[in-house]
């Protein structure tokens, strides 16, 4: 995993609540057995007017000019501002893969669906929870200012606006440590292999039917 | 004093990074269910890192999302789908993992076959790369969906890095009115607390109405805990649980069975356990539920009406309702019973078990589907459910009424195979998600119970089952 320190990124606002994983990456694209290449199908039903199928390239598609991600001023955005309960629905990790592959490295919302939130950390995409009123303010500011950027510093846990407001965000210490150091979680866990084996030994005695 | 969730959690902690309830822990996983959509990248990464599955006997695999529900002898026509299913077969063969292949009678939806085989047992931690893993919580398991990186993590280490959620109790007391089912409880709870209401919580369903449910009903309810935002739903062990599991192929036998049930009986919340939040529902007041919008929380009683955006004060909510009504092509204040359907889908891991099919068959027996219904289909949850239903003659009842009788799989729950809605088509579906395009691009989904889906097939529109 890549190390994450800070990001001074262009922001795009997605002014909808309950954006679900089917909207983030429609199911026809889940048939791939690969881990990359999902960015071109991110928000497929909103970004394009025609129906997308795996294998199609953006060049072949009918772009929906009204969808916010397609507006020229938001090209190259790295920070997505969203509303409540972002990423609800299925457990598909294809959703964070698609967001990351498209170019996002941070999603800011007042709340996230649990599994989605969790999946983001596993791939080094940073979900940040900020109060609803702050997100509201940021969405308005982004819409009002072309080229609006936010500075996100993971170590200090601060989101800063161009006009000098600073917003603190919470993050679990272990997750922060993994992100800052780009650590492979499986390698970390395997350092406890002995403990896992001990646990199994104990359970074999206490609940033998689980190992029958 | 402990909640059921506390007990399940504490008995699986292998290591904690720190003290306290907020600690990141290594949680041991007893049962890992695997399907074709969320596993290929996990196996691939595992192989690339030169690792092997930690304990293959904990894994049970099946292809369900992509499989055709019509004649299987021709295989899967879509090459991309086929490759995904073949990849699962290869991975399972390579690592010696038990898999029910497409031609196996035991094949079916992953959340149907786990319990059916007794592979889901009380007290276990159960994970699967699928959000509806919450289903298995009906057996007093800690069961939840995980992403592909976590699938790889569990394959490699038999553990997950995770944190404890808060505990919510949903207490449903009283006797359900006739025609009202576990599905209606699920939708009513979601209507009450919202799709984000359970975020950060594990929900325990309790109360007399829950104890009165069969295992099938309990699975339906826990299945939709995820639609309420909770990762896990669970129900304490009682005789119903134990009777269901007896003699299932993977369940313990003989002395081990006796030993197991003695432990399983302890799997309930202590009398004085404290929950972070309690939601109370009166079962006697729950009506048959129908969703009208594009989120499961957009739900009404069948004798109710579609809301009007003008009645809603909150701007974000009002906009969401407006967008939903537009997508669903419904008029504000329109009675739910005036919604006419094009298609009927009885199936999915929410409602495709034998009892669901029996309930639906009882409604359609001797009747014919309405002339405006273009397609009505029943997709049993597994090969075993299908054959059981056929032994009981349910297939004949459905066929004579004009339903199609299909092979098991996820089918039109998410339309990854050929079964899908056309643009603008309206469907009464017993599945769990009504998001835009879920059942096919432009398709319109109304979530209902099997009884309601069956009644709507006959009437051509939703009907107040009471009247
Ligand atoms: S039936 Fe639907 S919800 Fe259940 S596992 Fe299959 S796709 Fe997911």
Domain ranges of chain B: 4-278, 289-459
CA angle in degrees (0–180, nearest 5) for A160-A152-A113: 110
Confidence band of B432 (pLDDT split at 50, 70, 90): very high
- Does B111 score more than 70 pLDDT? yes
- The verdict on B123 touching A (C-beta cutoff 8 Å) is yes
- Architecture of the domain made up of A6-181: Alpha-Beta Barrel (3.20)
CATH code of the domain occupying B289-459 = 3.30.499.10
Nearest-atom index, ligand 1, CA of B35: 5
Comparing A42-46, A55-59, B307-311, B401-405, the range with the smallest average pLDDT is: A55-59
Query: What is the residue whose two structure tokens read 């088509």?
Result: B425
Task: Sort out which chain B residues have CB atoms less than 8 A from A188's CB and list them.
Answer: 161
Q: Do A30 and B44 touch (CB under 8 A)?
A: no
> Would the CB of B213 count as within 6 Å of ligand 1?
no
* Contact residues, chain B, for A196 at CB < 8 Å: 14, 26, 28, 54, 157-159
B126 touches chain A (CB under 8 A): no
Q: Check: CATH 1.10.530.10 for B4-278?
A: no
Are the beta carbons of B322 and B431 closer than 8 angstroms? no
> Does the predicted TM-score (pTM) go above 0.80?
yes
Residue B467 has pLDDT above 80, yes or no: no
What is the β-pairing status of strands A166-168 and A158-160? antiparallel
Residue of B161, B197, B436 to mutate for A, most A C-beta atoms under 10 A: B161
Q: What's the average model confidence in pLDDT over A53-75?
A: 94
Q: Each residue of B26-57: pLDDT tens digit?
A: 999 999 999 999 999 999 989 988 899 999 99
So what's the pLDDT on residue B66? 87
Q: How many CB atoms lie within 10 A of CB B61?
A: 22
Tokens 């594990």 found at? B202
Rounded to whole angstroms, the Cα distance separating B250 from A36 reads: 37
User: What is the residue whose two structure tokens read 């009683």?
Assistant: B301
Q: Provide the pLDDT for residue B169.
A: 98
- Note the pLDDT tens digit of each residue in A155-192: 999 999 999 999 999 999 889 999 999 888 898 899 99
Q: How far apart are CA B300 and CA B231, in angstroms?
A: 24
> Stretch B191-219: mean pLDDT, rounded?
96
* ipTM, interface predicted TM-score of the complex: 0.93
Q: State the pLDDT confidence band at B80, using cuts at 50, 70 and 90.
A: confident
Average pLDDT, whole number, for chain B? Answer: 95
Q: Are B332 and B306 in contact (CB under 8 A)?
A: yes
Report pLDDT digits (tens) over B112-143.
999 999 999 999 999 999 999 999 999 999 99
Closest CA to B34 of B107, B130, B125: B130
Alpha-carbon separation of residue A86 from A19, A91, A160, B199, B299 (angstroms): 5, 13, 22, 11, 20
Neighbours of A70 (CB within 10 A): 15
CA distance A132 to B368: 51
For chain A, the structural domain boundaries read 6-181, 183-211
Q: In angstroms, what separates the C-alpha of A115 from chain B's closest C-alpha?
A: 7
Is residue A90 very low, low, confident or very high in pLDDT (cuts 50, 70, 90)? Answer: confident
Interhelix angle for A173-181 vs A114-123, to 10°?
Answer: 30
Q: Give the model confidence (pLDDT) of A42-55 as tens digits.
A: 999 999 999 999 88
Substitution target in B68, B322, B435 with the highest count of A β-carbons within 10 Å is B435
| Domains B4-278 and B289-459 agree in fold | yes
The CB density around residue B212, as the number of other CB atoms within 10 Å, is 15
Report yes or no: B203 and B312 within 8 Å, Cβ to Cβ: no
* Exposure class string for B357-368: b at 16+ Cβ within 10 A, else e: bbbbbebbeebe
With a cut of 80, say whether residue A212 has pLDDT above it: no
């Amino acid at each position: 995993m890549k190390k994450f320190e800070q990001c001074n990124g262009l922001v795009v606002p997605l002014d909808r609540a309950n954006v679900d994983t089917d909207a983030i990456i429609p199911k026809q694209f889940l048939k791939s057995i690969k881990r990359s290449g999902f960015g071109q199908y991110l928000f497929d039903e909103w970004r394009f007017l025609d129906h997308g199928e795996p294998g199609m390239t953006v060049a072949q598609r009918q772009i929906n000019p009204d969808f916010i991600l397609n507006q020229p001023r938001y090209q190259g955005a790295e920070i997505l501002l969203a509303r409540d309960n972002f990423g609800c629905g299925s457990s598909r990790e294809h959703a964070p893969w698609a967001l990351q592959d498209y170019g996002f490295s941070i999603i800011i919302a007042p709340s996230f669906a649990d599994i989605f939130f969790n999946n983001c950390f596993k791939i080094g995409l940073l979900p940040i929870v900020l109060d609803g009123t702050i997100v509201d303010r940021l969405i308005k500011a982004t819409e009002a200012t072309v080229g609006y950027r936010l500075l996100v510093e993971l170590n200090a846990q601060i989101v800063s606006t161009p006009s000098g407001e600073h917003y603190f965000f919470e993050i679990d210490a272990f997750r922060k440590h993994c992100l800052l150091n780009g650590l492979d979680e499986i390698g970390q866990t395997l350092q406890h292999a002995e403990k896992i084996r001990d646990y199994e030994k104990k359970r074999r005695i206490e609940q033998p039917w689980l190992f029958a | 004093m402990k909640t059921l969730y506390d007990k399940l959690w504490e008995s699986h902690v292998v290591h904690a990074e720190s003290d306290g309830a907020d600690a990141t822990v290594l949680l041991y996983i007893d049962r890992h269910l695997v399907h074709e959509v969320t596993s290929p990248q996990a196996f691939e990464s595992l192989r690339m890192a030169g690792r092997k599955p930690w304990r293959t006997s904990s894994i049970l695999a099946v292809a369900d999302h992509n499989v055709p529900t019509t004649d299987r002898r021709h295989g899967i026509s879509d090459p991309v789908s086929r490759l995904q299913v073949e990849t699962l077969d290869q991975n399972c063969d390579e690592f010696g993992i038990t898999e029910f292949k497409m031609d196996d009678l035991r094949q079916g939806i992953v959340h149907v076959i786990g319990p059916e085989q007794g592979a889901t047992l009380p007290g276990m931690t159960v994970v699967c790369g699928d959000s509806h893993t919450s289903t298995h919580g009906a057996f007093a398991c800690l069961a939840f969906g995980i992403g592909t990186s976590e699938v790889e993590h569990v394959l490699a280490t038999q553990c997950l890095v995770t944190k404890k959620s808060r505990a919510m109790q949903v207490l449903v007391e009283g006797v359900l009115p006739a025609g009202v089912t576990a599905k209606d409880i699920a939708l009513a709870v979601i209507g009450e607390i919202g799709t984000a209401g359970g975020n950060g919580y594990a929900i325990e369903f309790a109360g007399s109405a829950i104890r009165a449910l069969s295992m099938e009903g309990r699975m339906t309810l826990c299945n939709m805990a995820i639609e309420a935002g909770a990762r896990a739903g669970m129900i304490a062990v009682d005789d119903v649980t134990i009777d269901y599991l007896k003699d299932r192929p993977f369940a313990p036998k003989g002395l081990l069975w006796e030993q197991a049930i003695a432990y399983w009986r302890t799997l309930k919340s202590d009398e004085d356990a404290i929950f972070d939040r309690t939601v109370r529902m009166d079962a006697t007041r729950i009506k048959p539920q129908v969703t009208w919008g594009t989120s499961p929380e957009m739900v009404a009683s069948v004798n109710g009406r579609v809301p009007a955006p003008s009645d809603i004060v909150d701007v974000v909510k009002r906009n969401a309702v407006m967008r939903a009504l537009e997508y669903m092509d419904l008029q504000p204040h329109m009675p739910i019973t005036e919604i006419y359907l094009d298609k009927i889908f009885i199936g999915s891991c929410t409602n495709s078990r034998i009892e669901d099919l029996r309930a639906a068959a009882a409604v359609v027996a001797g009747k014919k589907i309405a002339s405006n219904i273009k397609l009505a289909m029943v997709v049993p949850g597994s090969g075993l459910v299908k054959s059981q239903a056929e032994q009981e003659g349910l297939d004949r009842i459905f066929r004579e009424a004009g339903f199609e009788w299909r092979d098991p799989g996820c089918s039109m729950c998410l339309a990854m195979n050929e079964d899908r809605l056309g643009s603008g088509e309206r469907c009464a579906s017993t599945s769990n998600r009504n998001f835009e395009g879920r059942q096919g691009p432009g398709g319109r989904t109304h979530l209902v119970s099997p009884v309601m889906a069956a009644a709507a097939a006959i009437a051509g529109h939703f009907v107040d089952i009471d009247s």
